[in-house]
A and B are shown apart, each in its own frame.
Chain A
Amino acid sequence: MKKIISFIVLYLPILSMLVGLQYACNNLDEEITDRIIIDHHFKTDKDYLKVVGPLYTHLYGLGNHGGFFSLQEISSDEAVIPTRGNDWGDGGIWVRAHRHEFHSYDSPVSNAFTFLYAGIGSCNKTIALLKEAVQKGFADSALTDKYIAEIRALRALYYYWAMDGFGNIPVVLEFDLPDNFTPFTVQRADVFALIEQELAEVVPLLEHKNDATTYGRINYYAGKTLQAKLYLNAAVYTGISRWNDCLAACEEILQSGAFALEPNYRDNFITGNANSRETIFAVAFDEGFAPGFNLHMMTLHPASQATYNLEQQPWNGYCSLQEFYNKFEDSDIRKKNFIVGPQFAADGVTPLLDQFTEAGDPDGLPLNYTPDLKDISGLALRQEGARIGKYEFRNGAKLNLSNDMPVFHLADILLMKAEVLWRLDPGNPEALSLVNQVRNRAYEPDQPLNTLTAENLLDERGRELFYEGVRRQDMIRFGVFGNPTQFMPGSEPCKEIWPIPLVQLTAGQNIQQNPCY
């Protein structure tokens, strides 16, 4: 009896605890609070943005030297990197790029390709991540669809650029590929069809809002602009023009009323230009948080450090060409896209002296940017060349700029619509009025054109969209890309697309080189 009482008094609580513990305390679920685990993620828009946002940071590469954007610019007639003495010689790659002597082993070509396909790869990876989250039941499928649409649209932008530059390219739309998969070349017209199909599927799903939350991202209108660009150049890509499809996309953007021309052209390119109502899609740079845009360092002469009180001495590289510079009238505010003439310190009166000036420089010590370049392959003088001043260089600028770089903006839509109308009917009065709407902003008083020709339409685009990475495409569309210019002796039509980089050819056995490389 005593034993039983002891048992009850002493052991029963323990026994009941033991039994209770089986249920309460064998839970081994991991609680992670200091890291993001896929299971606890993907509930709100912000959660998605955390993985979609970084995809846009890859575009910071557009603002830097050496790759896709440089190749677009230097192979056009609006920019060049002259070799001054030994400076910027770089084995002749930039001179060759300007002369359309592209080689599959030149680094700008492989950098451009790698930039685009790394962007495509991270889009594919993030799509795979989101699909995995949905498959495991950790993500909301409606929100996921919306963000996957955005990623596919961004990926379409990369493919559009790749098709524009390289023509016939590999297309990979999946992340988790079978081991034996090797990418293969898709012909340009088929790439066009793939991009068209992708955009047709995803653009309707994109965010229609156009505000601070969509700034720097591909929203509905950015998607529409991409479609417009694709159709505008359809004849180049496929041999079949799609003017009406371009027109429809442009009209939808214009009719939305979401965008308006800034009264002052230059306001689109100032430091902190994120508020421009004209911008449809931009790369949002910041000197600290989003570094990568360093045009001031690339284009200015070292002595110009004193003009802008720059943190570091610039590198004296990119400049424009006299022929192109002369397309601007003196009364055109857009002529301020160039920095020319004698240069002064920040006080505006003290002349800048170039201590390294060459003996043969007629300007001598005082720094004077002259649009006339004597040469681009070694004999160029350090002070020569109109500098690219399209973007404001703020006083005290650091190594990187805080100006956002518009990829698409309204003026381009207006000019595209004008061009399409003109191509459909050269006498269309709306075409002329659209061009003048853009043009008049640059003049005080207005100096409208009276008639539209291929030449003045292309020139107007050149003036308005200088250094926005579209000149090469425009020249090709207007059929003048291979025409000789001052330092470009003329090139065959097959140079309208770049060679596939050699490393890609050796890595992928099913990748073919473009014709004439």
Chain B
Amino acid sequence: MMAKYGNASHMKHTTPHLLAAWLCFFSLQYVGAQSNPVDSSKTDRVAATCGAISSLKSEKFNRGNILDPLQLAQGRVAGFTLARPGSNPNEPFQVRLRGLSSFISATTPLTVVNGIPGVDPGMIDPNEVTSITFLKDASAAARYGMRGAAGVVLLETNKGSEGPLTLDYSAQAALDLAAGRYSVFNAGEFLQNGGLDMSPQSNVATDWQSEVLRAGLAHTHHLGIGGGLGRGHFSVGLNYRVTQGILKKTGLNQYNGQVGIVQRFWKNRLTITGNLLATRRNADPGFPEAFRYAVLANPSSAVKSDDPAFQPFGGYVEAALFDYYNPAAIIEQNASRSRQDRIFGAISAEAQIFSGLSALLRVAENRDNGIAGEFYSPQSKWRSLGANGSLRRIKSTRTNRYLESSLRYQRALSETVRMDLNAGYAWQKLRHHYEDTTTVGVFGLNRESKPAEFEALVLTPANWFGVFSEGNNTLVAYFGRVQMTIRDRYYFEAGLRREGSSRLGYRNRWGNFPYAGAGIDLTKVLNINNFEQLKLRVGYGVTGQQPASDGLSRLVLSPGVLFYYNGAYEAGLGPTLNENPDLKWEEKREINIGLDFSLAHGKIVGSLDYYRNKVSDIIVNTTVPSPPNIAPNTYQNAGEISARGFEAAVSLPELLNGDNFHWSSDLVFQTARVTLDQTGRSDSVSHSSVGAPGFCCTGYGILYDGVVLGEIRGAVREGVNADGSIRYKDIDRDGFINTSEFSKDQAAIGNGMPNWQLGWSNSFQWSRFDLNIFLRGVFGHQLIHEFRVFHENLNTSNTTWNHVITKYFDARVTDFNRFDNTHVESASFLRLDNLTLGYTLPSKNRIRRARFYIGGQNLFTLSGYTGLDPEIRLSDPGPTDNGSRLGASIVQAPGIDRRNTYFLARTFLLGVQVGF
């Protein structure tokens, strides 16, 4: 409903925060990882806090050819899920901390780099990360208020340490090979089964998957200098890495340099910490869609031909068929390139004013400039047919400015009571600018042209079109926290963050995010044998999530139709979005009960956590009637998600500890159940369209209030008739088979979310040899094998595409392809994520350390899934066909193995580390 709102003065909504700020001085916080006493090499806890916090130091990081710093912790932290189907080096991982927290706002945790929130960890070279800390529950993440609902990840980069000057060099070479391929008909089988013969004059048999695959080579180099420097220490690192994807013409190279320095002045009463990071990444994202067409392309077609009929396609054999492309032509005729330059600078000063009271001031800025170009040859059928070539250019700039000041007062109130007070203020402004333009009929460029040449091309207004966006986001926060420790056994903390965001409706710009926790070390209260620690803790907190972008609460007019005025046609405006001055943050409330333990003289260390949370006021873009509303859409706080889960982490640091042999083991386990209590839609709606050919408008699932996240719905197959047709179950028993309507003959036939996940790492040391084995398992989820949905049945109307042959293939079935329960396969898997065998040379005078290693990633995967990668799909990118581009991913629809997925690689490694 369109409501009437007050007058203009409401828009200038400034809050008298001085008072609030001073009040806050008596409460909470800052937990930058720096001032947080994170220690120990184990996945363990910060003693004084009561929330669910896991911290990982570099010794426990994943190894191998790793590009994304978060991958260092994949499978190592209970509650943390990082997944990327396939091995596309340019595809970002999907990240979740404790399930799903939103629909269209941020669902990935807030990343905080060296205390600066909102910094993309992709700008850090993994070699420079020294620790990663996960604030999992709301009582821990509430310290980051308005952006903490999806959890928080704190990353620290190398700043060196006191001691003599060291020089380290490490290098690693990696070889990526396809871990598997789809089994398809060869040319003979294809023709026998009614396929279209594209080489009637000769017997061509093309193995298309081989045409696009290659062995990907990668190498990384790291040079680091660090050590003490007067009253301080520093680190300088240089990194260079090259990675080739297993799809031809995909890959990247990256240069990174970083300086970290800590210096103390005035008898250690002033500490200055500085960081400078710069990264340039040149990438060839290429066209992963080529994999799809390599699976499906006609094996009787040659790659190239002298036939004049194919001259317009530059000699590549193409067919004028719907959604049919020569995959080699996609790769070889066209180009997709990008370059991203990122720079990050931060400086902080911590001053001890008098004993117990210290002040912190922190300022930072980072910039991210990207340019990407896509070039489509005039001869390419792919995305260029009829356009005589086309060119796309994307420019983006992001900046992030941050300022924080806080006071901290630590004091022992008595012999037994210690208190830690913290309060402060933080301000942040993020800006972005984005241009995406396309022009057709391009000359003078080819697939070897560099992005800069794309940029230099003058786009004349007559033949370009595109989108443009820019915006900024201001966040202001006041925070305070108190922590108390009584007799080293009772812990208490409470805090409040009051934070405002410019993205919210003007009536709801400021939110309060309180949290509290209490803990007790039972070993010191009760008399428990064998336990060194048995800390029971309870935390409760409220975190928020701001809207996905700016302007969502405003009445927006968007360009639409053209109208004639003064001799020319101008773009007219029409209302597209209604105002919602009440648009507020999404709010997550979570209770977490945890138990930290250490027994048998530290031989068994671990923690258990159980949580329940509810995210309410989730922002949904709702369709509203017009009239009475001026525009057809309004962003409203209408969704709700609840989740509960259990996490366990157990460390056995000395499973075996002999003179010459050492074995340690770590196990993490997680299980969670997420329910979409309110989807924010008035009707049950189908989501995740199956796509073309033939299923434009049916979905893989429906969203209804109370649906368990990941539910897959579809028809149920009863059997196959003698004539090759498929018999479906008449679920509603109305005597008719209607498989396309979810209310009729469809049932819940699977779930894309796992029941439980585990990570198990083992470290062995024998003499100078070391061996690391890391196994990761995900269990209980199903995947929709989409190649089978579309390309399994021997239906005679399909002469265009090849067939995908799995153990489910049944030559008797000649019915139309239609999605049903037989395409939903169990995808539980156990994977040898990493194995490394190293040998350390005896140290010589000048050589502090020298180690060689060999290893591998994804050496084997145990799974019954017949697709290439049983990894969970946390969100669905949706269908594409005929060269169309992917839209925004839907996070409510996990579990769909789309045909565009990049193939999975197996990696073999060889490396050396030398320290002087």
- Does the CB pair A17–B18 fall under 8 Å? no
Q: How far, in angstroms, from A35 to B8 measured CA to CA in the complex?
A: 20
| A326 contacts the other chain (CB 8 A) | no
Tell me which of B425, B472, B501, B560 has the highest count of chain A C-beta atoms within 10 A of its own C-beta: B425
* A49 at interface by CB-CB < 8 Å: yes
Among B5, B8, B17, B630, point to the contact of A129 (Cβ < 8 A): B630
Residue contact A26 to B15, C-beta cutoff 8 Å: yes
> Is A34 touching B17 in the complex (CB atoms < 8 A)?
no
- Chain A contacts for B270, CB-based, 8 A: 10
A365, chain B: closest CB distance, angstroms: 33
The residue from A25, A50, A135, A217 contacting B557, defined by CB atoms under 8 A apart:
A50
Enumerate B543-572 residues with CB–CB distance to A below 8 Å. Answer: 550-551, 553-558, 560-567, 569-572
Is A44 at the interface (CB under 8 A from chain B)? no
Specify the chain A residue showing the minimal Cβ separation from B626. A125
Q: Is the CB of A53 within 8 A of B565?
A: yes
Contacts of A360 in B (CB 8 A): none
Question: Is B574 part of the contact surface with A, judged by Cβ < 8 Å?
Answer: yes
Complex Cα spacing A30 to B583, Å: 13
Q: Which of B299-307, B463-471, B523-531, B728-736 contacts A (4 or more CB under 8 A)?
A: B463-471
Contact of A18 with B405 in the complex, beta carbons under 8 Å: yes
In the complex, the answer to whether A137 meets B469 with C-beta atoms within 8 Å is no
Count of chain A residues with a beta carbon within 8 Å of a chain B beta carbon: 57
The answer on a CB contact under 8 Å between B575 and A129 is yes
Cα(A60)–Cα(B471), bound, Å:
35
Residue B848 CB within 8 A of the other chain: no
Find out whether the CB atom of B569 lies under 8 angstroms from the CB atom of A290.
yes
> Taking the complex as formed, is A11 at the interface, i.e. its CB lies under 8 A from any CB of chain B?
yes
Q: Are A50 and B628 in contact (CB under 8 A)?
A: no
CB-nearest residue of chain A to B627: A175
Q: Within 8 Å of chain B (Cβ to Cβ): is A37?
A: yes
CB distance from A395 to the nearest CB of B (A): 22
Kindly state the separation between the CA atoms of A41 and B13 in the bound complex, as whole angstroms.
Answer: 20
Contact A54:B573 (CB < 8 A) given known A27-B14, A29-B502, A34-B470? yes
Question: Considering the chains assembled together, what is the distance between the CA atoms of A175 and B626 in angstroms?
Answer: 9
Measured between C-beta atoms, what is the minimum distance from A213 to chain B in Å?
A: 5
Q: A35-B558, A37-B551, A50-B557 are in contact. Are A7 and B567 (CB under 8 A)?
A: no
B349 CB to nearest chain A CB (Å): 9
From the candidates B17, B551, B567, name the one contacting A22 in the complex (CB within 8 A): B17
A11-B359, A29-B502, A213-B565 as given contacts; A36 in contact with B353, CB under 8 Å = no
Question: Which of A10, A28, A56, A125 is packed against the most chain B CB atoms within 10 Å?
Answer: A28
Which residues of chain A (92-124) have a CB below 8 Å from chain B?
A: 121, 124
Whether the Cβ atoms of A57 and B503 lie closer than 8 Å is no
CA distance A132 to B469 in the complex (A): 26
Would you call A50 and B572 a contact (CB within 8 A)? yes
**Is A51 within 8 A of B573, CB to CB?**
yes
Q: Is the CB of A49 within 8 A of B557?
A: no
Q: Tell me, rounded to whole Å, the shortest Cβ–Cβ distance linking B119 to chain A.
A: 20
Indicate whether B269 reaches chain A with its CB closer than 8 angstroms: yes
Name the residue on A nearest B551 (C-beta).
A32
* A33 & B501 in contact (Cβ 8 Å cutoff): no
Return the contact of A132 from the options B351, B571, B630 (Cβ within 8 A). Answer: B630
Task: Bin the interface of chain B by size.
Answer: 35 or more
Q: Are A274 and B567 in contact (CB under 8 A)?
A: yes
Contact of A10 with B351 in the complex, beta carbons under 8 Å: yes
State which of B17, B353, B501, B565 has its C-beta within 8 Å of the C-beta of A11.
Answer: B353
Q: In the complex the two chains form, is A39's CB within 8 Å of B11's CB?
A: yes
- Measured CB to CB, the nearest residue on chain A to B6 is A136
Name the one of B354, B472, B555 contacting A3, with C-beta atoms under 8 angstroms.
B354
> Do A34 and B562 touch (CB < 8 A)?
no
Q: Are B502 and A6 closer than 8 Å at their CB atoms?
A: no
Interface membership of B807, Cβ < 8 A: no
User: Which residues on A sit within 8 Å (CB–CB) of B553?
Assistant: 30
Residue of B353, B469, B565, B628 most packed against chain A (CB within 10 A): B565
Known contacts A10-B270, A39-B11; decide if A34 and B471 are in contact (CB<8 Å).
Answer: yes
**Minimum distance in angstroms from B19 CB to a CB of chain A:** 9
In whole Å, how far is A114's beta carbon from the nearest beta carbon of chain B? 16
**In the assembly, what is the distance between CA of A289 and CA of B568, in Å?**
9
A216 to B269: give the CA distance in the assembly, Å. 76
Contact B572 A36 (CB under 8 A): no
Q: State the Cβ distance, A42 to closest chain B Cβ, in Å.
A: 10
B21 an interface residue at 8 Å Cβ cutoff?
yes
Q: What residues of chain A lie closer than 8 Å to B351, measured between beta carbons?
A: 10-11, 14
Is B409 an interface position by the 8 A CB rule? no
Give the CA-CA distance A124 to B468 in the complex, in Å: 30
How far in angstroms is the closest Cβ of chain A from B881?
Answer: 26
Q: How far is the CA of A345 from the CA of B470 in the complex (A)?
A: 54
Are A30 and B550 in contact, with the CB atoms below 8 A? yes
Bound together, the chains give a CA A124 to CA B626 distance in angstroms of 11
Q: Which residues of B have CB within 8 Å of A289?
A: 562, 564, 569
Asked if A332 is at the interface (CB within 8 A of a chain B CB), the reply is no
Residue in A21, A33, A129, A212 whose CB lies within 8 Å of B425: A21
- B555: contacting residue among A37, A177, A286, CB under 8 A: A37
CB within 8 A of B551: which of A35, A54, A176? A35
A38 in the interface, Cβ–Cβ < 8 Å?
Answer: yes
Q: Which residue of A lies closest to B434 (CB)?
A: A34
Interfacial chain A residues near B557, Cβ < 8 Å: 35-38, 41, 50-51
Closest A residue to B574 using CB positions: A54
Which chain B residues lie closer than 8 Å to A216 at the CB level? Answer: 563-565
Within 8 Å of chain B (Cβ to Cβ): is A265?
Answer: no
Question: Which B residues are CB-close (under 8 A) to A177?
Answer: 627-628
Closest partner residue, chain B, to A217 (CB atom): B565
Q: Contacts A6-B354, A37-B551, A57-B563; is A17 near B572 (CB within 8 Å)?
A: no
Chain B CB within 8 A of A328 CB: no
B509 proximity list for chain A (CB < 8 A)? 28
A315 within 8 Å of B (CB atoms): no
Q: Is B93 an interface residue (CB 8 A)?
A: no
Is residue B361 within 8 Å, beta carbon to beta carbon, of the partner chain?
yes
Q: Is the CB of A22 within 8 A of B471?
A: no
Q: Could you say which residues of chain A place their CB within 8 Å of the CB of B17?
A: 22, 26
A215 within 8 A of B: yes
Q: Indicate if A248 sits at the interface (CB-CB under 8 A).
A: no
Report whether A286 and B469 are in contact in the complex, using a CB–CB cutoff of 8 Å.
no
Task: Tell which of B354, B501, B560 touches A28, judged by Cβ atoms closer than 8 Å.
Answer: B501
Q: Is A284 an interface residue (CB 8 A)?
A: yes
In this complex, which of A10, A26, A49, A135 has the most chain B Cβ atoms within 10 angstroms of its Cβ?
A26
Which residues of chain A are near B202, meaning CB under 8 Å? none
| Chain A residues with CB under 8 A of B474 | 27-28
Decide if A186 is an interface residue (CB 8 Å cutoff): no
Contact in complex: B8, A137 (CB < 8 Å): yes
What is the CB-to-nearest-CB distance from A236 to chain B, in angstroms, rounded to a whole number? Answer: 32
- One digit per residue, 1 when the CB lies within 8 angstroms of any chain A CB and 0 when it does not, for chain B 437-474 equals 00000000000000000000000000000001111101
Q: Is B500 an interface residue (CB 8 A)?
A: yes
Q: Which of A266-319 contact B (CB under 8 A)?
A: 274, 284, 286, 289-290
Which residues of A lie under 8 Å from residue B201 when comparing CB positions? Answer: none
Min CB distance, A61 to chain B, in Å?
Answer: 12
Q: Which of B470-495 contact A (CB under 8 A)?
A: 470-472, 474, 476
Given contacts A29-B502, A39-B11, A53-B570, 9 further A-B pairs with CB under 8 A are: A18-B405, A18-B425, A26-B17, A32-B550, A38-B554, A129-B630, A137-B7, A138-B8, A215-B566
Show 25 residue pairs from A and B whose CB-CB distance is below 8 angstroms, ordered by the A residue: A6-B354, A18-B405, A21-B425, A26-B476, A29-B502, A30-B502, A30-B503, A30-B550, A30-B553, A33-B471, A34-B469, A34-B470, A34-B471, A35-B556, A35-B558, A36-B573, A49-B565, A50-B571, A57-B561, A125-B630, A137-B8, A175-B628, A215-B564, A289-B569, A290-B562
Report which B residues bind A (CB closer than 8 A). Answer: 2, 4-5, 7-8, 11-15, 17-18, 21, 269-270, 351, 353-354, 359, 361, 403, 405, 425, 427, 468-472, 474, 476, 500-504, 509, 550-551, 553-558, 560-567, 569-575, 579, 626-628, 630
* 9 smallest beta-carbon distances between A and B, as pairs: A53-B563, A54-B572, A284-B564, A289-B569, A137-B8, A36-B557, A50-B573, A38-B555, A57-B561
